[in-house]
Structure 1
Amino acid sequence: MKRHVIVDVETTGMSTKNGGRVIEIGAVAVEGGEIVAELTSLVNTETPIHWGAQRVHGISAAMLRGKPAPEDVWPSFIEFFADSPMVAHNAPFDSGFVRHELSLIGLFLPNTWHCTVRLARKRLPHLPNHRLETVARHLLGDIPADCRLHRALDDARITAQVWLALAT
């Protein structure tokens, strides 16, 4: 399998239309059936975090103090992405936020996106839902004890394993 980049973002809210911003991004490059590189960063957007979003991912404003600003984070991710196809669990959400963040600093990402939610719904219609944790437990068995679900890098790692299981 050629190189794909699996991405997950954690945000201040559910929509860019309501001022939501990316405050954590995790990306893993997968090639030849295994993870070959990783990149992650917290991002200080100086945007208030909606209480509901914070309850999900656990990222607080205090955790973002002193972290790099978007314009200091995104160029390294663009380089990491290169021209690889992108993968996310619920790709419309992640790709929408990634493209929005890049547009705010004058960058563009032309890469194609694949969605593991869409693929799981097609291949695993019998599951009660297609949340990442449900699909991962079905395909992979146990999720590692040190995995922090709803943190960007760990979710990207799990999504990579789901992608490899579904796409082959």
Structure 2
Amino acid sequence: MQANSLVVLDFETTGLSPNMGDRAIEIGAVKIKNGEITESFSQLMDPGFRITGFIEDYTGISNHMLKGMPSCAQVMGEFSDFIGDSNLVAHNASFDKRFLDAELALLSKSYSGQFACSMLMARRIYQNAPTHKLGDLIRYKNIPSDGGFHRALYDSQMTVKLWLTMLEDIKQDYGLKDISFSLVKKLIKTPKKSVHEFLNNQK
């Protein structure tokens, strides 16, 4: 599988940990094939309880907006179908993977694709970036943005742009024609000081 054909996703949630009872309140995802966006998925969902004022302010999603929305079970069932057998990418993927795994486990569903983290990749490719937060990386690479971060579909769309920019930079800097998802998985685990040597050896 090529690294430019996958699903990029982002959750907005009621808190930081599904183990503490937190739930998803929005999922946004973009499917890309050969570097082109082919489909997107965006849906608010009712977690079954009121969200805090902090989360309302942080996400821009209010209790009023969630009223009458489909349940997490309904949305995540549909999202499982959207993923199919695709590989997955998220910025700070450990967070999104926790919620995806927890929500699908409640439905006795799983997925066959593998996860990669665009933040861990950026830490290796853009070691001089001031931070590796999504918004800061978008600015660092001068990727066009209207700055509306912390809504799921928008963050997914920006992560797609960052992901494809990183793949293109790797290709140009190291003379690679194609980049596989398995190469990306190895790159993410490579120590920062060894990245240059690792990529040079991929030619």
TM over 0.5: yes
Aligned partner (choices 106, 109, 113) of residue 107 of structure 1: 109
- The Cα offsets for residues 62-108 of structure 1, whole Å up to 9 and x where unpaired, read as 11001000121112211111111100000000011111011112211
The amino acid across from 1:121 in the alignment is: R
Counterpart-to-counterpart distance in 1, 2:75 and 2:144:
32
Cα distance between partner residues in 1 of 2:131 and 2:81: 34
Q: Which is higher, the Rg of structure 1 or of structure 2? A: 2
**Aligned match of 1:150:** 150
Q: Is the 8 A contact 1:14 1:53 kept in 2?
A: no
Aligned length: 166
Partner of 2:85: 83
Shift of 1:50: 3.3
- Output the amino acid matched with 1:103: A
Inter-CA distance 93–20: structure 2 relative to 1 (3 Å threshold):
same
Residues of 1 paired with 2:89 and 2:142: CA distance? Answer: 18
Cα pair 1:4 1:87 within 8 Å, conserved: yes
CA RMSD of aligned residues (A): 1.4
Correspondence for 1:162: 162
Question: Do the aligned partners of 2:14 and 2:24 also contact (CA within 8 Å) in 1?
Answer: yes
SS in 2 for 1:25: strand
Shift in Å, 1:49: 1.9
Query: Deviating runs (4+, > 4 A) in structure 1?
Result: none
Q: In the aligned structure 1, how far is the partner of 2:116 from the partner of 2:141?
A: 18
Give the TM-score normalised by structure 1. Answer: 0.92
Give unmatched runs, 5+ long, in structure 1. Answer: none
Indicate the SS of the match to 1:26: strand
Stretch of structure 1 that moved more, 37-46 or 106-115: 106-115
Secondary structure (helix, strand or coil) at the match of 2:123 reads: helix
SS of the counterpart of 1:23?
strand
Percent of aligned pairs with the same amino acid: 35
CA distance in 2, matches of 1:152, 1:136: 16
Query: Residue 139 of structure 2 aligns with which residue?
Result: 137
Determine the structure 2 residue equivalent to 1:96. Answer: 98
Residue 124 of structure 1 aligns with an amino acid whose one-letter code is Y
* Structure 2 CA distance for aligned equivalents of residues 17 and 75 of structure 1: 20
Kept in 2, the 8 Å contact 1:86–1:113? The answer is: yes
Q: Could you tell me how far apart the structure 2 residues matched to 1:86 and 1:102 are?
A: 15
Aligned partner of 1:67 in structure 2 is 69
Q: Secondary structure at 1:94's aligned position in 2?
A: helix
CA distance in 2 between partners of 1:81 and 1:74 (Å): 10
Is the partner of 2:138 in helix, strand or coil? helix
Question: What is the TM-score with the length of structure 2 in the denominator?
Answer: 0.77
Shift of 1:121: 0.5
Alpha-carbon contact 2:143-2:161 (below 8 Å) kept? no
